[in-house]
Chains A and B, each alone.
Chain A
């Protein structure tokens, strides 16, 4: 830094105070021109003043920087001129605050608002002029609001200014020539019909109003319309003329009968309306036309048929047997693949996942909200399972059933043929209802066959026909049983039952054995391809079948199982058509069953039957299935809440366990409840009580009395066998209660082995089956063995136990400690430092905030703080200023007072002095006199 002196010189030089500034001549000249001598002197003074101020070291205040900051940060306010800024503030206050202060407690006063009064720079003329214009403006501004003359506000009528209305509206004599009697009606300005010529004729062309324009447009369009009509009429007349001459032309062409043109009938009507002469001619022609009509239509249809005929194409080659098999295999493979995928719980389509991810955030494992809270909807965690299986696949499959197809059709036709004679016979026998039914069936026989033909091509028929094919075999068996040829007496048509009541009404009239035929016929008759209504009808019918299965299963006597089977299969094939409806029905039943378990009500056979059907109809191996998952829950709840108490529940439980095995035959999932149940039952059945039940299954619910124990050998020779559904589940049919226990035990042991096989690949296989071996060993212990039939003990000893031991030994050999965590080690999260491009130290730290809202907020906060501080400072200074001013005032007043007093005192002193002097003088005078 140069020295102070040097800098002073530099700045003096720059200001042009000293030395010879290097300036061009022009610049000098201009400078000389611009400034008169006085001005130059003045500016020089100012420059000097500023330089003086600049170099006054007491005017400038610097803040010493403690640390120098890299990055060239600019720090505001290191150098300041407190004196000057203080002075500025003082001046400012003097202008505002002081005035206010002086005016405080003063009311009124005169504010000089005269223009330019305080502006000395204005010439008096300018002032006058400006004042005048102001005055003028003011007056015009504050004009009377009622002044109609004013341009700004215009009275309007219907948006039109009154002034623009046609002048003659206001002339009284206009209407008089038109109609004198009527008082002059003031026409509506928008009245389009109002005498257009009058307007046009009137005087000079003025700007048309909108209404007028519209009027013109309307008139024009009307005119054009009229023109067109006229043209049309002319054409019509011409054509009529031509028509009239057609007969002649036709006569000429004699052999070719021509079709009347399509316009004819209307022409005829018009003609007849016109009157007589033409009418005769038309009658002639009518006769003529009637003769030629059917020839005509035949031709037409032929043409149309040809138009719609498909072009012949080379057909697909008939596939060879190998190819068909291959296709079928491929398709089965595809099905199996998708099943496997569902079993693993993999999502198939992308949309599913997207939807599920949202849900997952809410409830990670889809467990619901637990007991306390009401369950909410958003729990679809695993998503409804995928649906690769499109309807299109069904199409492909239909081919495989083609052969069935043909055969079945033959069946139906044969039945149709055989019905007729029997029907006539039965007419006398049956009541009116049946009669009408039969009658109707006779009538419809043809139509039915026709339907059959039409629906033949439909693909989904395959299911139904397939089932029919199967049903024929047992039916034949039934027929041989003596019920004879009743099947042939069945009517062919049935109304489609929409409810179970309706279905019952229909079926009550027929034998149970005819049920499959009835169902089949209803389905054929109401095939969806026949009518759009049939879809909903069949859907309802499916529900009726569902209810009927329940109904049949709950009948006190066992229904023929083949009938039930066929009903289930019908339900199955209908479910394929209406998956949603059937799933809802199944779910509804599951819910009801679940509630019944909760209420400790008896389990019905129908529940078992529906669960059986469910296992057939739905893929039970799926990881998640909207029907199967609840069904599994219900079964396991049943098993855990119905510990063995009596033979009846045990039989039902045995069936439930069977269902578990059936459901999990592919996916091999673990069902703790089922295993527990089997163990519990075996413990309950064992001839002698356990000292301590093995394993960790719960034992608190088991009836420990000897009621359930196998106590005595059944009479006669006892052969091991399966449980007989029709015997054990129909309690009245139980012939030998004692024989059931060993059979049950046998079944449970078998199931145990089945479970062991199922779970042989599980890592906890040893733990799962450890009670099994203990229980079976207990069964073969000397205390039990005498109560058990020999066949059972040999089964246990020779088959069950060795099998279990073999599986366990195998499992033990391949048991390894778990190694679940072969994960890639988690990297320690490393966060790269983030660099801000264009970082500046001068910008505030918070201005790099990513969060816009927060940034704004911080900015506002900072501003607020700053303002607040500033305001406080100002206020403080204000008050200081006021105090100072007051003190000044006070001083002035005091001074005035003192001066005054002084003056008075001195005046009095003067007077006194004078008086004293006078007195002295007087005294001296008197003295002298004396």
Chain B
């Protein structure tokens, strides 16, 4: 690492001494140290060179070999570095505010250098400088400071803030080292800048870092930040959640990069602490406060509240491409951690309007809230009913829909009228559905019939002769089902009959036809396991057919027709043969 470890002052003083002794060697030495850290967006942990700096003989060798290998441009880099180091020393040793500010400003100016390498180098150097300043307490005001010193502190602080901003822009450009530097600074700050002996988290700096990370367009950096810091350390995660709502206020909702980065961090967050877990045991990035328990950091409820705020902030932002992902993880990974899941209702009702599978998932979330969080949502079933549209049986998420539909309707307390509407509607849709859909619907209907025996009137209704006899003989039975009615309580399906499913008993696919016959047989089976029927397709059905072995001779049409593509003109002695109509000839002319 190019920066001193947490022990702060001690290595700093050591270094100073050594610098005094062999300045040129150090200058040349740091060149190879700085270079490997100048990497692209992907962060590579710089090689631990600390050991090397402590053994000068090794360093000399290193520098020699390096300088041999490296080209002139790197020599100039080394030169720059040497200058910089000197400048750093000056800054630290500066006695007046003016001198220090001047030095810092030069360095800060260098930070905006076009050359990425130099910028990084400067950032590293500045980090070192500020760390040392902090460890000497020169960034914190003291009672016994004289005006000059106060001024120095003030200006140094200003410089520090602008350095953080510069570092932030570096981070935003996807630079890995700068992320490390900033996190490192966080740590130093928490140690040396705390106002009292109490626990101190540098919220401001962290907020700046988070903001810039979320604005960066490098997904790698975001992942690294998430995996190495946020998920890893309980305090960083906590502060992250806490910071999100305030940061998001400044970012316009149209900024999709920000939203997506935030989403990816929140989406991949898996091991949020459970209430049962002992928070005090979790890993912390900064030094823990002496007295535990008292701090909000160790209260699960506070954690959850901030988690909820963070999610709500994210959900408030438009993120159409990720809706589906969010809705998928909603019931399992988000709702359990929310203190007040009912806040999601608005989001869910809004997403329902986007239609398709998203609407379905939104309904699932609503259902979850209704079931386990006491949400009252009277529109649920009408909305579900509306999803049963003409394309449903032909779309990919059909099986998912039917699976959920079963769980939604799986209560015997639902009114039979409502269930009948669903059944009738599905039956109607089956008339134009592929066999795989029919196969999924029929067992579901069977199960619903078992659950709601009233609905079996749709399969079996004996009308009284006295009341209906004359009317029916004249005009037939009037179907009371209104397919345009969108309220499942008013469709009149219960008075109708499931002619559609009866018709499907003569479906062209033998298995479908056989399956449809279960509805006209006695309901002896308790329930069908619909899971067995949901995931079929033309391909799986054909595979099932094709895997059948030809065991015995397949039947071949016995009579070889005289004509296939032409009309049969003469009717000779075969007039016993029934005249089979040839559909081909009705529509096609093969001449």
Contact = CB atoms under 8 A, between A and B. Distances in A.
Interface of A: 325, 328-329, 332, 335-336, 342, 345, 365-372, 375-377, 379-382, 384-387, 389, 393, 397, 463, 466-467, 470, 561-562, 564-565, 568-569, 572-573, 575-576, 579-580, 582-584, 587, 590-591, 594, 598, 612, 616-619, 622-627, 629-630, 632-634, 636-637, 640-641, 654-655, 658-659, 661-673, 675-676, 695-700, 721-726, 747, 750-751, 754, 759, 762-768, 811-823, 826
Nearest to A333: B576
A657 B461 CA distance: 36
Contact of B562 (A470, A721, A814): A470
B588 A342 contact: no
B61 to A, nearest CB: 62
Given A384-B551, A618-B554, A370 B534 contact: yes
11 contacts: A336-B578, A384-B548, A463-B560, A561-B565, A569-B564, A626-B548, A668-B506, A676-B432, A768-B503, A812-B476, A817-B477
Contacts of A670: 431, 503-504, 506-508
Given A671-B508, A763-B499, A817-B477, A370 B536 contact: yes
A626 B550 contact: yes
Contact of A636 (B434, B558, B586): B434
B555 A672 contact: no
A114 to B, nearest CB: 79
A629 B545 contact: yes
B563 A565 contact: yes
B514 interface: yes
A590 B545 CA distance: 11
Contacts of B460: 818-822
B536 A367 contact: yes
Interface string B479-521: 1000100000000000001111011101111110111000111
Contacts of A629: 509-510, 545
B565 A695 contact: no
Contacts of A695: 390, 432
Interface residues of B, number: 100
B549 interface: yes
Contact of B510 (A617, A624, A641): A624
A371 B539 contact: yes
B536 A368 contact: yes
Interface in B575-591: 576-578, 580-584, 586-591
Nearest to B389: A696
B393 A698 contact: yes
Contact of A626 (B535, B554, B560, B591): B554
The list of the 4 closest CB pairs from A to B, nearest first, reads A368-B544, A764-B503, A370-B535, A821-B460
B208 interface: no
Contacts of A572: 556-557, 560
Given A377-B547, A763-B502, A616 B554 contact: no
A654 B587 contact: yes
Given A397-B558, A658-B588, A816-B463, 5 more contacts: A380-B548, A381-B511, A632-B509, A763-B499, A813-B475
Contacts of B108: none
Given A696-B432, A725-B589, A818 B461 contact: yes
Contacts of A672: 430-434, 438, 507
Contacts of B428: 696, 767
B556 A664 contact: no
Nearest to A328: B576
Contacts of B456: 821
Given A387-B552, A670-B503, A630 B545 contact: yes
B524 A826 contact: yes
A384 B506 contact: no
B537 interface: yes
B532 interface: yes
B254 interface: no
Nearest to A746: B587
Nearest to B429: A696
A768 B504 CA distance: 11
B554 A580 contact: yes
B168 interface: no
A389 B555 contact: yes
Nearest to A591: B546
A812 B586 contact: no
Q: Which of B431, B456, B483 has the most CB of A within 10 A?
A: B431
Interface string B418-444: 000000000011111111001100000
Contact of A375 (B509, B540, B556, B573): B540
Contacts of A826: 522, 524
B467 interface: no
A764 B393 contact: no
A375 B461 CA distance: 40
Given A328-B576, A365-B515, A466 B510 contact: no
Contact of B550 (A372, A584, A676, A759): A584
B561 interface: yes
A821 B555 contact: no
Contacts of B560: 463, 466-467, 569, 572-573
Contact of B541 (A576, A633, A640): A633
